[in-house]
Structure 1
Amino acid sequence: MKFQMPLYKFSFKFGFALVLIAVLAGTAGLAGAKPVKRTVAGQSAPEQGPLYATRPDAMQFADDLASRRDLNADWVRDTIGQSRYIPTISRLMQPSDKPFVKNWRVYRSRFIDPIRIEAGARFWLSNRSTLERAEKEYGVPAEIIVGIIGVETIYGRNTGSFRVMDALATLAFDFPASHPRAAERSEFFKSEIEQFLTLQSRRGVDPFEAKGSYAGAMGMPQFMPSSWIKYAVDFDGDGTIDLWNSPADVIGSVASYFKAFNWQPGMPTHYPVSFDTSRLDMDALLAPDILPSFGVASFTAKGAVLEGAALQHIGPLALIELLNGPDAPSYVAGTENFYAITRYNWSSYYAMAVIELGREVAARVKPVTP
């Protein structure tokens, strides 16, 4: 899985900022700005700072890591030492000092567009049997898998161009001190370095070959190293896991991820919802945020109005609020499967983009039933 921010409100800013960065960099993917090796249209190559071989704290971390993981100490020291500080990455992680207005319609427009829909249809048609197999084995619908890969990287078009080791080292040892959770985030990225070096040692692959997002997320599904180790699968059966070049491995790994986060086969992701203003307790409905917390009876008792199949839903619901800037918000009743999508990226806006992109692609590839 890609880099997760464990606060919903901050994660929306993080994800939306990635979109804007991508657009400014001439890309359309969520993975982040693509470093340019040449000067074009006023853009210059990203700055490169010193090697981490000059940092005693980084070298001490390397020694401790090698001891903990029983890895070759010289190899670990050399790998971390040859990683380079990238100032651009640190800047991208700094909290914005400008007011941020959430807008679902703007966010949606970044992902539900003809480019992604057409690319998604081609991906689906090329991998139809694999998607069907993944749905059968893991219970995750093809349209959710296709939606994830499309939102993340436009089906492999934008997987990121930062060296993963540079990104992880920069965020482990130089996470912006101005961030309110800098110490916690730094420790997170140190643990990702440990997972990444363990993974690359196991695979026998040069750590500097891997390129990804500025947060160190990799491949078509933008998995962080820890997610690769926990959830990635060899779905094409060739003896290796390749999340850059094997659509089958990507499809199986995304499905494996959702199964691990309790995807419920056959359950909708959300239902339409309206409100009975005479008994509406909006504060209570929104208090749990995106965590499903209300049975149907308690949900409707607080003024939420459900119809049809939603009234027969088994399991908890959450009121999902999607702000639209100065206009009225949009609302849906989210199920446990909606919540499962937010485990990939901690944002209800992201989850809705995945769902709606998947549906648009499905409508393009599935024959219309008379």
Structure 2
Amino acid sequence: MNVFALLTSSVLALCLSASALAQSPARSRPATPAKAPAFNYAQSPAAMAFATDLAERRNLDPTWVRAQIGSAQRIHTVIRLMQPAPSGVPKNWAAYRARFIEPVRLRAGQRFWEANRETLARAEAEYGVPASLIVGVIGVETLYGQHTGNFRVIDTLATLAFDFPASHPRAATRTEFFRSELEQFLSLTERTGTDPATYLGSYAGAMGWPQFMPSSWVKYAIDFDADGRVDLFNSQADVIGSVANYFKAFGWTPGMPTHHPVRFAPNQSREDLDTLLAPDILPSFGVESFTAKGAVLEGAALQHTGKFALVELENAGAASTYIAGTENFYVVTRYNWSSYYALAVIELGEAIKALVGER
């Protein structure tokens, strides 16, 4: 999962089936920090107390748990990257979009789709999730496996569990989140008989081609190639099936568009616009109430039987871009709680779909 999601909301919760067995973590060499970490977490009383409690609650070997957490190193880069973004920086949808809908990613996505055409079709048939959405997510997250992260997951999760920056406005809830993810990670690796030290991921602990946090791996990752294990680092079939399973679990409705064009009546009031924007990306308005407040819909949008959200994407001082997001658009934001991310994923997938000639 894209790490931006971790800064804006809690991500995915979870439980691997016994048949998942062992995963195969990335085998590339971890990035060498510019400076050696100040210490490892064997020196932290809070970390060692957490390890003892975790082992008791999860019925794990306390010596093993303490050794794993104790060997984790504090990574100052991770702490720095989790600092709150500077205030006052304008959002820019056009610039954000250009980062992802670009020639390198489009070509890589086309190759990925063509190499996995049958698997994508099977995932779409079984889960009802469009191949274009699956391809879009994997492209935005890791450029089809090219950028899965070089931080040791045990280091990042321990750092954020015990040294999350106190200056962050949500430091307390983020700390609890990462402690839960550390617990999920150690439980997962112990259950599958893999070495926690060999897993590499993002600066927030997200892993594999789809960038699943440990809790998401446990609950949503599946063995789509039926080889007896879940592998989000090396099995493209498992990656495809797991992304599809994730969206289905969050309520994807087959056949429903993610969004529709919207414009505004010339006499629309600022008050009505503010009312439409107040729920943010949460679909809250039926067609009648949506249009009564000055939003103009056309064609298929007028036949939508669910709710709409008026989604605003700012353009750094220029006129904002607006769409009418459906319940399926909201589902896409469950992967990353950002309308900018969701629309980039959707548009990348649709652009690649056109390249491969899918209807």
Q: TM-score, normalised by structure 2?
A: 0.91
Alignment of structure 1 residues 279-290 onto 2, 5 Å:
279-280=268-269, 281-290=272-281
1:123 to 102, 112, 115: 112
> Structure 1 residue 176 and structure 2 residue 165: aligned?
yes
Shift of 1:7: 4.0
Of the structure 1 ranges 306-315 and 89-98, higher mean CA displacement relative to structure 2 is found in 89-98
Structure 1 residues 278-313: Cα deviation after superposition (integer angstroms, max 9, x where no partner): 244101110100000000011000000000000001
Aligned with residue 360 of structure 1, among 347, 351, 357 = 351
Structure-to-structure mapping, 1:182-197, within 5 angstroms: 182-197=171-186
CA drift at 1:46: 5.2
SS at match of 2:321: strand
In structure 2, distance between residues paired with 1:84 and 1:5 = 21
Give the match for residue 341 of structure 2: 350
**1:267-346 counterparts in 2 under 5 A?**
267-280=256-269, 281-346=272-337
Instruction: Classify the secondary structure of the residue corresponding to 1:171.
Output: helix
More divergent stretch after superposition (217-226 vs 93-102) = 93-102
**Residues in 2 aligned to 1:35 and 1:291: alpha-carbon distance in whole angstroms:** 39
Does the 8 Å contact 2:6/2:204 carry over to 1?
Answer: no
Give the letter aligned to residue 351 of structure 1: A
Q: How does 1:154-303 map to 2 (within 5 A)?
A: 154-280=143-269, 281-303=272-294
What displacement does 1:277 show? 2.7
Residue segments in structure 1 that go unaligned for 5+ positions in a row: 12-33, 38-43
Deviations 1:235-284 (A, max 9, x none): 00000000010000000000000001000000000000000032441011
Whether the 8 Å CA contact 1:35–1:46 is kept in 2: the answer is no
- Which residue, out of 69, 74, 94, partners 2:58? 69
The answer to whether the Cα contact below 8 Å between 1:46 and 1:88 also exists between their aligned partners in 2 is no
Deviation, structure 1 residue 180? 1.3
Alignment CA distance shift 1:2-1:195 (3 Å): farther
* Paired position in structure 2 for 1:30: none
- The gaps in structure 2 that reach 5 residues or longer are 12-28
Q: CA RMSD in A?
A: 1.8
Q: Note closer, same or farther for the CA distance 1:258–1:334 as it changes in structure 2 (3 Å cut).
A: same
Residues 85-131 of structure 1, C-alpha deviation per residue, up to 9 Å, x if partnerless? 00110011111345211000010111111011000000000000000
Structure 2 counterpart SS, 1:132: helix
Choose between structure 1 and 2 for higher RCO, CA contacts under 8 A separated by at least 6 residues.
2
Q: C-alpha separation between the residues in 1 aligned to 2:302 and 2:346?
A: 21
| One-letter amino acid of the structure 1 residue matched with residue 314 of structure 2 | L
- 1:17 maps to none
Identity %: 64
Amino acid across the alignment from 2:166: A
Whole-angstrom distance in 2 between the partners of 1:131 and 1:290: 28
Matching residue's letter, 1:296: V
- Are the counterparts in 1 of residues 30 and 152 from structure 2 also a CA contact under 8 Å? no
Superposed displacement of residue 48, structure 1:
2.1
Using the size of structure 1 for normalisation, the TM-score is 0.89
Taking the aligned partners of 1:293 and 1:332, their CA distance within structure 2 comes to 14
Q: Give the equivalent residue in structure 2 for 1:29.
A: none
Deviations, residues 10-65 of structure 1 (Å, cap 9, x unaligned): 99xxxxxxxxxxxxxxxxxxxxxx9754xxxxxx7355231100111100000000
* Conserved? CA contact 1:275–1:304, under 8 Å: yes
One-letter amino acid of the counterpart of residue 178, structure 1: S
Aligned counterparts of 1:6 and 1:228: Cα–Cα separation in 2? 19
Q: Distance in 2 between matches of 1:84 and 1:70?
A: 25
**In terms of mean alpha carbon deviation, does 214-223 or 176-185 score higher?**
176-185
Give deviations 1:193-244, integer Å, cap 9, x for gaps: 1100111011100001100000000000000000000100000000000001
